[in-house]
Structure 1
């Protein structure tokens, strides 16, 4: 349910909204604003947003409004040349909106803002060397945002980040020549990302990985000629996948025959009453 159906139309001070007291009676008469739906005086951000979206030419006059939701909404539609002063707005939501709109050369310093959301906004806009401060940010989401945008050649700097989610993004984007070093990451989900991208001739590095998800990914991608060790994997699903893939390559049939012999001998013994199984010693 959208907020149109919830809450009385109150202004940012909690007082009832009266259209007759508003300076926009003319556009109200034209249906360009509706109390409780699209109203610049409403305390609900969504209703303010609808007003400004329908009347963007009025945004400039609300950049200094005392209610931060109005300033933030106005910053989305106002003339970009009017926005620089709002980089020092006391409300982080306003600073974040402005950071997303101004040119990069005007927002470099915002990567050091005290608010996480503002720094994320800056990291989503900046490029190259301007992202370097974000690599050491205390907030992992700032670091992730930077890792998703920075040049691949800089990613080795972050492959030992303390957060596995950051390292997982590094594994998704880092140059393949640097990827093998991440095979030894302490987090299995990071190693699985490595297994998804590692060149086939290097997947043997993960054949004996301690995590079944990593080994399963290896079993899906590794060359059939390299699958033999996985026929003895502790996990049945991995052994079966290895058998299925090897079975599709005729010249590798001998690998399956050698693994199948003990099973056939066991079945023969159980079916032959002349060779009963030995009783356990007492």
Structure 2
């Protein structure tokens, strides 16, 4: 038995070293750097000054507010649309593999490349979206250059980009539901709506919990979408700045790594807390 344990640790050693070197150590290093100031090559211990700075910085609170709004809106909307589309494909479409491949293509495509395309779609003067809105006699806002629309633009883009991963995972979960449930429901004359809410949704709760966790974490780490849509900026007047964009700006542009790491630690704690609450909530729903 002890010999097997030694062999197990031997096989686990490469993974443990990899995880420690590329996951645990950077977290610890970021925490230490959050108490240091100065340039990256000559950091000095400054205590809690970096935390005092970010908590007094209006730009930091704007970034946190934008990130929270983005997560609270984009995640449930994207998840609801994904469930609806996955159910329609699973129950109505015959060639499911073709649609799964089509929906999954954006996930394996560079976000920067997709963002550049969407930058032209969202263009206020000649963009496709405004062309359609004008044809329907609807208001056509300036999605990119209007500070009041910056966050809405990111949310729309975020919802679209998250559909691919969600739909493919949900399709896999739908295939694992025992078809006998639906057969018995048909015997008792259950409608499509009743089968969806009484059979499909309860079976999907573990998958939805997983997707909710992954999407929330991804939403709080949103950066590439902002960079791609606004051409390397955070919108007009930093109206689209997010927590990660704030960290990038302080670290790479301003050159204050200590401040950036302090913001990183705060963001990490926020994600940890929200993920904990979400898991508790989904556990209670699953027990009901």
TM-score (normalised: structure 1)? 0.19
Structure label with greater radius of gyration? 1
Q: Point out which structure has higher relative CO (alpha carbons under 8 A, 6+ apart).
A: 2
TM-score (normalised: structure 2)? 0.18
Q: Give the helix-richer structure, 1 or 2.
A: 2
